[in-house]
Chains A and B, each alone.
Chain A
Amino acid sequence: MPRQFAYYPGCVAEFSSKELNATTKALAPLLDIELLPMPQATCCGAGDIAEAKPNLYLTLNVRILSEAEEMGVDILTICNVCTLNLRRANKMVKEDPRLLEQVNGELVNAGARPYQGTIDVTHLLWYLATEEGLSLLEQRGPRGLNGLKVAPYYGCQLLRPSSVMGFEDPDRPQSLERLITALGGEVADYDGKTRCCGFPIILAREEVALKESHVALSGARDAGAQVMVTPCPLCHLAMDAYQRKTEQLMGEEYAMPVLHLPQLIGLALGMPTQTMEFKRHFTPMDEVLETVGA
């Protein structure tokens, strides 16, 4: 029996970064995961709706949790920001029965299903970086990264605040490192891996944001990485699509291809490169594909 999840890809993976959604869907059966669609689910608000209308943020996110609860399964995400927003709402109502009652009152008034507080929200990285997940990868066989030097890049919101996220030590995370090693890659370690990519303010404060992403890009480059991998499509946009702008602003060259997490696994498992849609990336992937023999 495959492990079933309510699949919440988030808006960026569904629209701008379709390659992430496509790769995740192709990867799921290989890892014995069944991704069930959530047709009612809205955007999580990405922190923006929380910043404008906090009560509306909470209600909308609890409505998403409730849809998964009705399906009888936990939610699986592939985005740091969605993970934080959904987990935060879940924690708020699970810890405060009066708040849950208020939110449910709004949901019922609007014709939506009330939430009982019974489900959990996890990220693909967390599911795979456990012993169970790593053994799933092992069963799939080849340690196919052929020594590819990979810089893990976590970004912020899958780690902090740890009171909401709590999967691993936010200052010494190891989940990406465990996966890279298990897949036959070599870890390029550097300080910037837990720093911000700047994406949340890239449209409103572009220069501040690009200076932030510079910290991680230059760190990965200086650690000798051939490629960076991230569990978040917003980090991916900041690091890949905006990389040339950051190079122009900082007067430096990074030439750093950036992989979505499922693409790294796909490469190791020998998934066809067309499936992973590397043509949608900005920074060329040629050297990476050559190293792994894809």
Chain B
Amino acid sequence: MASTTFRVFRYQPDSGDLESYHQDFNLDHEEKTTVLDALLRIQNEQDGTLAVRYSCRSAICGSCACKVNGKTVLACMTQVEEAKAESGSSTLQVDPIGNFAPIKDLVVDMTPFWDKFKAVKPFLIPDGPAPDKERLVPKAAMEKVAKESACILCAACYSECNSLAADPEFVGPAAFAWGYRFAADERDSQRKNRAKLYSGQHGIWDCTRCMFCNERCPKGVDPRDAIEKLGAIAFQEKVTKDKGARHAKAFLISMRTGGKLNEQLVGGFTDPVGGAFNAPLALRMLQKGKLPASPLTHKVKNRDQVTKLIKNVKETI
């Protein structure tokens, strides 16, 4: 037997109390008890008003994501004793997932998540009339989207997404994992349209590459990698007007012309219009020697190898 103090986020606006707080519950439990089992025992044995969202208890339904000592996990696949050992704390603080408004205790309003999910058209859009039988796909083609197909929509990736915290409209990691899953499906007819749809203002180029989504995903989906692959699809489909895509283009041009980053090029090329508003900063950077006065490129040794690779290497996205 083990014993743990659970410091649980409480928020019960229906009772008239609009302030949230943390409440401690002490529980004796088995060594292998999960956080979800512990929360349900607290609900059954100590406080029936504790609100927890859950369904399958086996890491398939994606309902019970929450933060345990600050780290977003599925409550059903996290053992209490392991979480204590990992965080070096005898108390487990349990909070709702981040970047969403709480409704009651650990239950948050998922409406924005589902709206964004729907917005990426997370379904197959094939061309032409339906065939008599199923549309057969070679195994290798499906392997391309196998990782992303494992997403259970638990929103653990949204909980600590740094771009979403700064821009609540960012479409976000899970939705784009689904977007890639269909954009890269060879039965889908909307590859270019999807590239356009996903390249909007709050789209793939909003991702700041903080890598929290890859770190937190309980299913190994690696949503950031999916966003990266959507970038490559956008390039392949020549959907490259967004400033984010132009930023990537500036790196390609630098590589083509010298091999190292041409910092003078990258600012002006990424944002030729808005860049003017950054003139005061650019001037100060110039004064501090942070922008080289010369627009010359930096050439590496054996650059012909780089030139040949740029010419020869084919993309297989």
Instruction: Give complex CA distance A208, B305 in Å.
Output: 38
Q: Are A212 and B260 in contact (CB under 8 A)?
A: no
Give the residues in chain A near B243, CB-CB below 8 Å.
203-205
Among candidates B70, B247, B278, residue contacting A204 with C-beta atoms closer than 8 Å: B247
Q: Are A203 and B313 in contact (CB under 8 A)?
A: no
Closest to A214 in B: B166
Report if A289 contacts B (CB, 8 A).
no
Q: Are B313 and A59 in contact (CB under 8 A)?
A: yes
Q: Are A54 and B229 in contact (CB under 8 A)?
A: yes
Expressed in whole angstroms, the minimum distance between the Cβ of A272 and any Cβ of chain B is 18
Give the residues in chain A near B300, CB-CB below 8 Å.
39-42
Q: Are B215 and A160 in contact (CB under 8 A)?
A: yes
Report if B266 contacts A (CB, 8 A).
yes
B273-312 interface code vs A (CB 8 A; 1 in, 0 out): 0100010010011001111100000101110111011101
Report if B315 contacts A (CB, 8 A).
yes
Instruction: Give complex CA distance A156, B302 in Å.
Output: 33
Closest to A109 in B: B312
Q: Are B270 and A204 in contact (CB under 8 A)?
A: yes
Report if A201 contacts B (CB, 8 A).
yes
Give the residues in chain B near A48, CB-CB below 8 Å.
247-248, 250-252
Expressed in whole angstroms, the minimum distance between the Cβ of B290 and any Cβ of chain A is 5
Instruction: Give complex CA distance A245, B209 in Å.
Output: 21
Report if A195 contacts B (CB, 8 A).
yes
A40-77 interface code vs B (CB 8 A; 1 in, 0 out): 11110111111111111001100100000000000000
B21-63 interface code vs A (CB 8 A; 1 in, 0 out): 0000000000000000000000000000000000000000000
Report if B186 contacts A (CB, 8 A).
no
Closest to B212 in A: A160
Report if B159 contacts A (CB, 8 A).
no
Among candidates A47, A170, A245, residue contacting B215 with C-beta atoms closer than 8 Å: A170
Instruction: Give complex CA distance A170, B211 in Å.
Output: 11
- Which A209-226 residues have C-beta < 8 A from chain B? 209, 211-212, 215
Instruction: Give complex CA distance A69, B246 in Å.
Output: 33
Q: Are B208 and A198 in contact (CB under 8 A)?
A: yes
Instruction: Give complex CA distance A55, B270 in Å.
Output: 23
Q: Are B281 and A245 in contact (CB under 8 A)?
A: yes
Q: Are B288 and A282 in contact (CB under 8 A)?
A: yes
Give the residues in chain A near B292, CB-CB below 8 Å.
15-16
A12-24 interface code vs B (CB 8 A; 1 in, 0 out): 1011111000000
Expressed in whole angstroms, the minimum distance between the Cβ of A77 and any Cβ of chain B is 15
Closest to A199 in B: B208
Among candidates B209, B301, B305, B316, residue contacting A111 with C-beta atoms closer than 8 Å: B305
Instruction: Give complex CA distance A171, B211 in Å.
Output: 12
Instruction: Give complex CA distance A52, B242 in Å.
Output: 13
Closest to B316 in A: A55
Q: Are B304 and A111 in contact (CB under 8 A)?
A: yes
Instruction: Give complex CA distance A14, B255 in Å.
Output: 16
Give the residues in chain B near A186, CB-CB below 8 Å.
none
Report if B91 contacts A (CB, 8 A).
no
A212 with B313, Cβ < 8 A, contacts A42-B306, A203-B271, A241-B281 known: no
Report if B210 contacts A (CB, 8 A).
yes
Give the residues in chain B near A280, CB-CB below 8 Å.
288-290
Instruction: Give complex CA distance A16, B246 in Å.
Output: 20
Give the residues in chain B near A126, CB-CB below 8 Å.
none
Q: Are B290 and A16 in contact (CB under 8 A)?
A: yes
Report if A200 contacts B (CB, 8 A).
yes
Report if A1 contacts B (CB, 8 A).
no
Instruction: Give complex CA distance A162, B211 in Å.
Output: 9
A-B contact pairs, 15 of them (CB 8 A): A16-B290, A43-B261, A49-B248, A49-B252, A53-B235, A54-B228, A55-B316, A196-B208, A198-B162, A205-B205, A205-B243, A207-B166, A209-B166, A241-B288, A242-B281
5 closest A-B pairs (Cβ-Cβ)? A160-B211, A11-B261, A51-B231, A110-B308, A211-B166
- Contacts from A to B (Cβ < 8 Å): 11-12, 14-18, 39-43, 45-56, 59-60, 63, 106-107, 109-112, 156-157, 159-163, 169-172, 191, 195-196, 198, 200-201, 203-209, 211-212, 215, 237, 241-242, 245, 279-282
19 further A-B pairs in the complex, CB-CB below 8 A; given A14-B298, A49-B255: A15-B292, A40-B305, A42-B255, A52-B232, A52-B251, A54-B229, A55-B313, A56-B313, A60-B306, A106-B312, A156-B162, A156-B210, A161-B215, A191-B70, A196-B163, A204-B205, A205-B167, A241-B281, A245-B281
